[in-house]
A and B are shown apart, each in its own frame.
Chain A
Amino acid sequence: MGKFIVKRLLLCVVIFFFAMFLIYTLIYNLPSSYVETTARELAAATAKQGGKTYQEWLEQLNEEYGMNKGVVKGYFTWLSNALRGDFGDSWKWNMKCTDKFAAVIWNSFTLGLISFIFEIIIAIPLGVIAAKKQYSITDYTVTCVSLIGISLPTFFVATVLKLVFSVKLGWFDIIGMHSRDFIAHMATGWENFADLAKHFVLPAITLIIVSIGGLMRYTRTNMLEVLNADYIRTARAKGLSEAKVVGYHAFRNTLIPVVTMLGGTLPGLFAGAMITETLFAIEGIGYISYTSMVGGDIPFTMFYLSLMSVLTLLGNLISDILYAVVDPRVRVN
């Protein structure tokens, strides 16, 4: 087992190395006029507050990214800095990329975790029920709903929710993390929490709607597979109650692939939900990265892309390991 994990980890490192090399090459090969335009715009924007000049921006870029050294050498410069945790200063936020990340990640994580929990609570039971009553109306409804959920564009769901709950009913604010006349440092902790929670409702619902379908389908498919297995027939033949057959024998076996998949999505909680956060202006890692990328903030973009790669690799790794942990048969092989 240990050997397997070590082997997988090493493989991840190699993949990360090459993936980041590809991304670095892409950023490196951005038309130079783009980099220069960005630097010039940055210089112009901060000139009044005594910010860096155009030359200084360019120099900073060259120094941190080895842009003047050639791709390979430059990549190693960046990589050696990045491995030491130094991703440079963000151009847009005027602080270290890692500091900005630390400041906003918990918003993303909270939002992600809330919807993750609700997703599990809603999707798994529905998936199990649908499989239990295959070809019934319940089954068709669940299948349809999950397919619709997969097909809905996030921005459309968000806009409809905003129209209904913010504009027509007036229950929530349309965007933002605080009410308009809410002053955070004057409120008590509880009021603060309540205000924040209120602004997380619509984004969380959006996330749940668009992501619930996949899990529901997955659960249903796997449950069906298990229910058709011989040992379930055996269990029924033994005369076990249907509740016991489904709830104990079948469900536990269904959990194997489901847990594996869910484990794989865990690192994704740190990746943020870019579109949803942007649409609701929730200051999480997704929204911050989106504004950085649109604004041409190269240091933060590189940071975010490396983060995403690491999280994807980590997700794969976790689901591989979990598969082995949850299912003893795999370990034997």
Chain B
Amino acid sequence: MADEKNNNVNLLNEKLKQREQEELRSKAGADENEPMKLDDAARVKVLSPTRLVIKRFLRNKLAIVGLVILVSLFVMCFLGPIFYPYGQTQKFQTTTRLNRDYANCGELTQFTKYVMDEASTKDVNYYVDTFVNIIDAKGVIDENTRKTLSTIRDVNYYEEGAEGITFASGNYFYDMKKLGDKLYMLYVTGGQVGELDLMGGVVSGDFTEEQAKQFSAAVRGKKDSVVVDGVEYRFISIAGSKNKAVLAQYAEPAEGILATKLCFDRHDLTVPEDKGLEEAALRALYADKKFTYKGENYTIDTEGEERLVLNSKGETVYGISEFSIRDYTGQDSLSIEFKSIMAETVTAMMNAEDQEARRTGSFTFSVPQLDPETGERNLDENGNLILSEETINVERKNTGEYIAKYDQITKVYDIYASPSWSHILGTDGDGYDVFSRIMYGGRISLMVGFVVVILETILGVIMGGIAGFFGGVVDTIIMRLVDIFYCIPTMPIMIIIASVFDKLKVPTYERLLWMMAILGILGWSGIARLVRGQILSLREQEFMTAAEATGLKTSRRIFKHLVPNVMPQLIVSMTMGLGGVILLESTLSYLGLGVKHPMATWGNMINSVSTIEAMKSYTYIWIPVGVLICLAVIAFNFVGDGLRDAFDPKMKR
């Protein structure tokens, strides 16, 4: 049935077309014979309203310029990133020669401790520095130190001398001796065997009555020690207790802790550190310079500048140095050759007369060559490092440390790079590619514009449509609402809300959505006014009466019959509004209150170079962005203007 109908219609159309063509042909034939009449209908070419608008629009040069700008902006922002190799938050690196720390050198400030008897030395382990200080002060101890030692650290200090001190702490006796330069040994000389009360009675301990008597006599005689049966006993007072003392038996000194500020440099960095070997070497250093460790004989060579530990084959295993020389990360990865030449330079600097020479020094050394492109170490075909001679500068810090520096090829973020082939507009202060950020920023800026304007328009059309159509009380209420919104200033409200977002640390994306919503809600009043005004005049016209007469629903009458008639004005005001919103968004972002870094928008890109220095030096970042904002807004205005003229030629003045 339907097919038949369609066929009929098609047939009719065919016939009409034929007739039309015949007419045209007869006219054309007539043309040859006589000129067309002045009032001939064929002279007037009738265009549909849409085509009329397009034709008028295309005649406007400024509008075409605007349209071309807009199209190219859209292509750049929305299609550009697909073909452009870089992302908006991709950081770029480059290599540069930087005078960078290579090694540092200093005397050790902390003791390296080799603990042999952990159980009996754990109480005094941390005070080794204090005891060394006392020894270094030739055994002289000031009252304060003594007080601190006895009250806080529970140490009873007995004998003092340049070569060693004797003290007791807890339940043990200790001797501490200086073995040589920067090498100290803590001996344990006895342990607790019992407890006494100061009135002379033995509280605990396994003693004969005779022995106990002798202890009491000694205590009453205010003595510190007593020899009973050929064995020396000492009394150690207990901190915090006035009438009890520890009874300790004196024994042959046993090694407790070996403490040193000397530093071992491994000769072969691939061999792991061996604490046992170091300990044995230290013990032999100031003695006979020979020792056996794990079945192998070692000798210490002290003839040269540096003391060397040699194994039985005469190979150097360790160097013993006064300095700790480490690479800039603090790791022990430097070769012994470097260490010795560095130590030499530092020693020379320490002994120098001249102020300048005390502060800086230099030497040349072969260091691994770095590739100027990648900053990696260069290898030859066998996989060995290629070395190159470099002048290495040593300078003294105020902390007493010596730092070795030389110009190294280093990987750095490529910030503020000038425009080049790899970065068309250079890079910004974060090492991001500016052109890529311009494209992504443009997306956000344009998108914000569109979303806000569409939101405004939807709200405005609904409110304005209702107000204009119904009139009366509804109209009054809505128009007062429009007045109220018109009177609320957008910019300050946005600033307040943005500073609240700042304080609450709202995420970037959420912020963007909120911003668009608020701008839309604050901006609908203008559109509502426009729509209402138009509808007020339109609803009195005949076609509305006709619509009403056909019994259409109210909503259909408003949105299908009235609103489309407002469309021309609406499109014009939307186009113009787009420019305004882009301007507002970029201003907010420029002030740091809109879309936040690292998401790019045109506004915050200019903000990122807002310091005077950056403004002066990096014009290739902010000028293109600024020009783009202007271009976008101008283009929207041009197009809006052109559309207005095209829609309503009578308005063209």
In the bound assembly, the distance between CA atoms of A163 and B613 in angstroms comes to 10
Q: Are A22 and B630 in contact (CB under 8 A)?
A: no
Q: Are B630 and A151 in contact (CB under 8 A)?
A: yes
From B491, B504, B626, B630, give the contact of A159 (CB < 8 A): B626
With A15-B487, A148-B634, A312-B489 in contact, is A156–B615 under 8 Å at CB?
A: no
- Which of A152, A156, A228 counts the most B-chain CB atoms under 10 A from its CB? A156
Question: Given the complex, which residues of A lie within 8 Å of B591, measured CB to CB?
Answer: 155, 275, 278
Q: Are B499 and A274 in contact (CB under 8 A)?
A: no
* A156, closest chain B residue (CB): B626
In angstroms, how far is the closest chain B Cβ from the Cβ of A92? 12
Indicate with 1 or 0, residue by residue over A280-322, a CB within 8 angstroms of chain B CB atoms.
Answer: 0000000001100111100001001100110011000000000
CB contact list, B440-466 vs A, under 8 A: none
Instruction: Verify if B428 is at the interface (C-beta below 8 Å from A).
Output: no
In the bound assembly, the distance between CA atoms of A295 and B500 in angstroms comes to 10
CB contact list, A1-52 vs B, under 8 A: 11, 14-16, 18-19, 22-23, 26-27, 30-31, 33-34, 37-38
Q: Are B484 and A159 in contact (CB under 8 A)?
A: no
Instruction: Verify if A225 is at the interface (C-beta below 8 Å from B).
Output: yes
* A304, closest chain B residue (CB): B492
Question: Given the complex, which residues of A lie within 8 Å of B496, measured CB to CB?
Answer: 26-27, 30, 293, 301
With A18-B480, A294-B499 in contact, is A309–B587 under 8 Å at CB?
A: no
In the bound assembly, the distance between CA atoms of A159 and B623 in angstroms comes to 9
From A19, A34, A143, A174, give the contact of B503 (CB < 8 A): A34
Q: Are B630 and A156 in contact (CB under 8 A)?
A: yes
Q: Are A155 and B587 in contact (CB under 8 A)?
A: yes
Q: Are A37 and B616 in contact (CB under 8 A)?
A: no
Instruction: Verify if B641 is at the interface (C-beta below 8 Å from A).
Output: yes
Instruction: Verify if B104 is at the interface (C-beta below 8 Å from A).
Output: no
Q: Are A143 and B62 in contact (CB under 8 A)?
A: yes
Q: Are B500 and A31 in contact (CB under 8 A)?
A: yes
Q: Are A224 and B653 in contact (CB under 8 A)?
A: yes
Question: Given the complex, which residues of B lie within 8 Å of A278, measured CB to CB?
Answer: 591
Question: Given the complex, which residues of B lie within 8 Å of A163, measured CB to CB?
Answer: 615-616, 619
Question: Given the complex, which residues of A lie within 8 Å of B586, measured CB to CB?
Answer: 153, 155
Instruction: Verify if A58 is at the interface (C-beta below 8 Å from B).
Output: no
In angstroms, how far is the closest chain A Cβ from the Cβ of B255? 57
Q: Are B495 and A305 in contact (CB under 8 A)?
A: no
Q: Are A147 and B638 in contact (CB under 8 A)?
A: yes
From A18, A159, A294, give the contact of B495 (CB < 8 A): A294
CB contact list, B595-652 vs A, under 8 A: 603, 606, 610, 612, 615-616, 619, 622-623, 626, 629-630, 633-634, 637-638, 641
In angstroms, how far is the closest chain B Cβ from the Cβ of A15? 5
Indicate with 1 or 0, residue by residue over A88-124, a CB within 8 angstroms of chain B CB atoms.
Answer: 0000000000000000000000000000000000000
With A31-B500, A38-B503, A228-B653 in contact, is A151–B489 under 8 Å at CB?
A: no
Q: Are B480 and A153 in contact (CB under 8 A)?
A: no
* B589, closest chain A residue (CB): A155
Q: Are B653 and A309 in contact (CB under 8 A)?
A: no
Instruction: Verify if A184 is at the interface (C-beta below 8 Å from B).
Output: no
Indicate with 1 or 0, residue by residue over B44-88, a CB within 8 angstroms of chain A CB atoms.
Answer: 000000000000000000100000000000000000000000000
With A15-B484, A18-B484 in contact, is A225–B653 under 8 Å at CB?
A: yes
In the bound assembly, the distance between CA atoms of A221 and B651 in angstroms comes to 10
Instruction: Verify if A144 is at the interface (C-beta below 8 Å from B).
Output: yes
Q: Are B489 and A308 in contact (CB under 8 A)?
A: yes
CB contact list, A147-169 vs B, under 8 A: 147-148, 150-156, 159-160, 162-163, 167
20 pairs from A and B in contact (CB 8 Å cutoff)? A15-B480, A33-B504, A147-B641, A151-B583, A151-B634, A153-B583, A156-B606, A159-B606, A159-B615, A159-B626, A163-B616, A221-B653, A274-B491, A275-B591, A278-B591, A295-B499, A296-B499, A296-B503, A301-B492, A308-B489
Interface residues of B (CB under 8 A from A): 62, 480, 483-484, 486-489, 491-493, 495-496, 499-500, 503-504, 579, 583, 586-587, 590-591, 593, 603, 606, 610, 612, 615-616, 619, 622-623, 626, 629-630, 633-634, 637-638, 641, 653
Interface pairs A-B: 5 shortest CB-CB:
A224-B653, A151-B633, A156-B626, A151-B634, A308-B489
